[in-house]
Chain A
Amino acid sequence: MKKILILVVVALLSATGYGYYLFQKPSKDIATTKPYLSTIAPQLIAKFGSGQTSSSSELLSKVIQVSGKVTDIEKGKESIIIVLNEGIKCEIILDKNPPFVKGDYLTVKGIFSGFDDMFNEISLTKCYIVL
Chain B
Amino acid sequence: MKNKLLIMLITITVFGAFAQNKKVTRTGSVQFLSKTPIENIAAQNNQVASILLVNEKQIAFNVLMKSFKFEKALMEEHFNEKYVHSNKFPAAKFKGSIPPSVALDKAHNYEGVEINGQMLFHGVKKPLIIIANIEVKEDLSISFSSSFNLKLEDYDIKVPSLVKDKISEQIKISVATNYK
| Residues of A contacting B62 in the complex (Cβ-Cβ under 8 angstroms) | 116-119
Would you call B67 and A78 a contact (CB within 8 A)?
no
B interface size (C-beta, 8 A): 32
Q: Are A74 and B26 in contact (CB under 8 A)?
A: yes
* B176 interface residue (CB < 8 Å to A): yes
Bound CA–CA A102/B60 (angstroms)? 27
Chain B CB within 8 A of A38 CB? no
Would you call A3 an interface residue if the criterion is a C-beta within 8 Å of the partner chain's C-beta atoms?
no
* Residues on A with beta carbons closer than 8 Å to the beta carbon of B80: 61
**How far, in angstroms, from A116 to B47 measured CA to CA in the complex?**
10
Query: Known interface pairs A81-B47, A117-B62. Does A27 touch B87 (Cβ–Cβ under 8 Å)?
Result: no
| Residue with the highest number of chain A CB atoms closer than 10 Å, among B27, B60, B65 | B27
Question: In the complex, what residues of A have CB within 8 A of residue B70's CB?
Answer: 27
Number of A-B residue pairs with CB-CB distance less than 8 Å in the complex they form: 97
A26 with B26: in contact, given A61-B66, A116-B49, A123-B67 (CB under 8 Å)?
no
Q: Are A77 and B29 in contact (CB under 8 A)?
A: yes
**Docked pose: A28 CA to B80 CA in angstroms:** 15
**Interchain CB contact under 8 A, A123 and B64:** yes
Are A123 and B73 in contact (CB-based, < 8 A)?
no
User: A99 at interface (Cβ–Cβ under 8 A)?
Assistant: no
Q: Which residues of B contact A77 (CB under 8 A)?
A: 27, 29, 46, 176, 178
A118 touches B72 (CB 8 A): no
User: With A77-B176, A91-B47, A123-B64 in contact, do A114 and B73 touch (Cβ < 8 Å)?
Assistant: no
30 CB < 8 A contacts A-B: A23-B72, A25-B74, A26-B71, A28-B73, A60-B87, A60-B90, A74-B25, A74-B26, A74-B27, A75-B27, A76-B25, A76-B178, A78-B27, A79-B46, A79-B47, A80-B27, A81-B27, A83-B26, A89-B26, A91-B46, A91-B67, A114-B64, A114-B86, A115-B90, A116-B49, A117-B91, A118-B50, A118-B60, A118-B62, A123-B67
